[in-house]
Amino acid sequence: MERSTITLTRKIQLLIDVPPDEKNEVWEKLYRYQNRCFRAANLIASHLYVQEMIKDFFYLTEEIQYKLADSSKDEMGMLNRSKTNTTARLVFDRFKGEIPTDILGSLNNTIQSTFSKNKADYWQGTKSLRNFKKDIPIPLPVKCISKMRYDAEKKAFCFNMFAIPVKTYLGRDFSDKRPIMERLLKTEIKLCNSQIQLKAGKIFWLAVFEFEKEEHLLKPEIIAEASLSLEHPIVAKANNVRINIGSKEEFLYRRLAIQASQKRIQASVEYARSGHGARRKQKALYKTEDLESRYVSHRLHLYSRKLIDFCIQQQAGTLILKDQEDKIGIAKEQEFVLRNWSYYELQTKIKYKAEKAGIELINRIAKKNNEGACKPVG
C-alpha cells in the first residue's frame, strides 16, 4: 500500500541560548558528544562487519557455532544477547556517563539499518566498510527535544535539546522553514529523529519532518514527459502542451560570472593587505565561499518546482524523465557543458517534489546510470 506521508529534511541554524559565561561549557559538551559518536560509530561498524564475516573464517573448527542469534533462543546461536543489543551494549558500556544513551541508541539503530542494506556488497567485495569521520552529525532523538515554542521577544523558535536551551536563526528566510516550524507547533506535521551538525563554529539542526502528501486532482492516465536538455534545463510536455523551463544562457550566465569572480580574487590574494596572516589576505575569498553551489541549488529548486506545478496544472499523475543517454554522452565529450550542467542534482530535486505532490515518477535516466552507461555530474 502506498504511503500517504513523506519525510523531508531542512537545515536550520541554531544558536545557544544561555548566558555568555556558560557558552564555553555547552560547546565543550557538544564537541564531546560528537567525539564519542565518531568513536562509537566506527566501533559499531567494525563489530557488525566481524559478526557478518565470521562464518567465512575457514580456519575455525567445525564445533564453532556461527549463527548470529541469541543462544538462549536458538541452540545454534553464538551470542549471549540479541544481535542488535550486542553493539548497543558495547558502546553503552564504553561511553557510559560521557554521552546520553539515547544518542548512542539512535546511532546504533541507524548504523545497523545501513549495514543491513549494504552487507551483500560487503560480502561480495564490491563496497568497502564505511569509515566515519570526526565531523559526524550527532543524532537528535525526538525524546531529547523539549519545550518547543515561539518566543516573540527573541523572534525565534526556542526549544531544549539534551537539556541545552537553543533558538533558531532563520535570517532572511526565503524557503519554507518558518511555515514548517509554525505548522510543527500547531501539530499539523510530525517531527522525526534528526541530527545536529557542528561546522565552522556553528550549529545546524538537520530536522526531519513527516508531511502528509499534497492532494491534487491528478489523473494517472495523463502522462507528462520531461527531458533534461542542453539548451534548456527542463523541457516538459503534457496534453499536447510543451514548455521550456529555464535556458542555457540564463542558467550559465550567473554561474560563469561567479567562477570568473573567484578566479580574479584568487589571482589578487597575494597582493591584498596583510596584518593578521592568511585569514586577512583571503578575506574576499571567504565571502564568495559556496556562492556558486548556493546559486545552483536555488536555481534547480526553482526549475523543479516549475516542472511539478506544470504537472499539477495539466493534472498529470505520472511523470516520465525521458532517456537522456545521447545528450549526456554529448555532455561528456564537451568538458565545458559537463562542468557546468548539474544533471544529477536536478533529478534529485524533481524526485522528492514529485513524491510530495503524489506524482508517480518513472526515471529512465537512473536506470542507465545504475548500469554505468552514463554518469551525470553535478
Cα angle: 168, vertex 174, 178; to 5 degrees: 40
Number of domains comprising the chain: 3
Q: What is the pLDDT of residue 293?
A: 80
Instruction: Give the mean pLDDT of 328-347.
Output: 60
Share of residues in the chain with pLDDT > 90 (%) = 34
- Domain stops at, among 212, 243, 264: 212
Residue by residue, DSSP assigns 330-362 as HHHH-HHHHHH--HHHHHHHHHHHHHHHT-EEE
Q: Who wins on pLDDT, 267 or 145?
A: 145
The set of cell numbers assigned to 329 is 554522452
Cα angle: 136, vertex 138, 139; to 5 degrees: 125
Examine residue 266 and state whether it is found in any structural domain, yes or no.
Answer: yes
The set of cell numbers assigned to 138 is 550527532
**Each residue's pLDDT tens digit, 119-153:** 888 888 888 888 899 999 999 999 999 999 999 99
CB atoms closer than 10 angstroms to residue 171: 8
Which band of pLDDT confidence, cut at 50, 70 and 90, is reported for residue 83?
Answer: low
Cα-based torsion angle of the residue sequence 367, 372, 377, 378 in order, rounded to the nearest 10 degrees: 40
144 with 114, same domain: the answer is no
174 with 230, same domain: the answer is no
CB atoms closer than 10 angstroms to residue 153: 5
User: Phi first, then psi: what are they for 288, rounded to 5°?
Assistant: -95, 10
Which band of pLDDT confidence, cut at 50, 70 and 90, is reported for residue 258?
Answer: confident
Examine residue 316 and state whether it is found in any structural domain, yes or no.
Answer: yes
- Alpha carbon 377 to its chain's center: 18
353 with 260, same domain: the answer is yes
> Using an 8 Å Cβ cutoff, are 128 and 169 in contact?
no
- Domain stops at, among 124, 154, 174: 124
Which band of pLDDT confidence, cut at 50, 70 and 90, is reported for residue 235?
Answer: confident
Q: Which residues of 301-313 are buried (b: 16+ CB within 10 A; e: fewer)?
A: eebbebbbebbbe
- Domain stops at, among 95, 124, 153: 124
Instruction: Give the mean pLDDT of 9-19.
Output: 93
Q: Structure pTM?
A: 0.71
Examine residue 134 and state whether it is found in any structural domain, yes or no.
Answer: no
150 with 98, same domain: the answer is no
Which band of pLDDT confidence, cut at 50, 70 and 90, is reported for residue 77?
Answer: low
Q: Which domain holds residue 162?
A: 5-19+139-212
Residue type, 229: S
Q: Which residues of 37-63 are buried (b: 16+ CB within 10 A; e: fewer)?
A: bbbbbbbbbeebeebbeeeeeeeeeee
205 with 223, same domain: the answer is no
Rounded to whole angstroms, the Cα distance separating 60 from 242 reads 66
Q: What is the pLDDT of residue 68?
A: 55
Residue type, 350: I
pLDDT of 62 > 70? The answer is no
Please, where are the H alpha helices in the chain? 20-53, 83-94, 101-124, 177-185, 248-268, 278-281, 283-287, 291-313, 325-333, 335-340, 343-357, 364-370
> Using an 8 Å Cβ cutoff, are 352 and 255 in contact?
no
CA distances from residue 32 to 35, 36, 37, 43 in whole angstroms, order as listed: 5, 6, 9, 17
Rounded to whole angstroms, the Cα distance separating 341 from 231 reads 11
Which band of pLDDT confidence, cut at 50, 70 and 90, is reported for residue 219?
Answer: confident
58 with 196, same domain: the answer is no
277 with 165, same domain: the answer is no
**Each residue's pLDDT tens digit, 268-308:** 777 766 666 666 667 777 777 778 888 888 888 888 999 99
What sign does the CA torsion over 204, 266, 295, 226 have?
A: negative
Rounded to whole angstroms, the Cα distance separating 16 from 201 reads 11
The set of cell numbers assigned to 365 is 535516466
228 with 207, same domain: the answer is no
CATH number at residue 306: 3.30.420
Going by C-alpha positions, the residue among 25, 26, 31, 28 that lies closest to residue 15 is 26
CB atoms closer than 10 angstroms to residue 361: 19
Which band of pLDDT confidence, cut at 50, 70 and 90, is reported for residue 51?
Answer: confident
354 with 243, same domain: the answer is yes
160 with 49, same domain: the answer is no
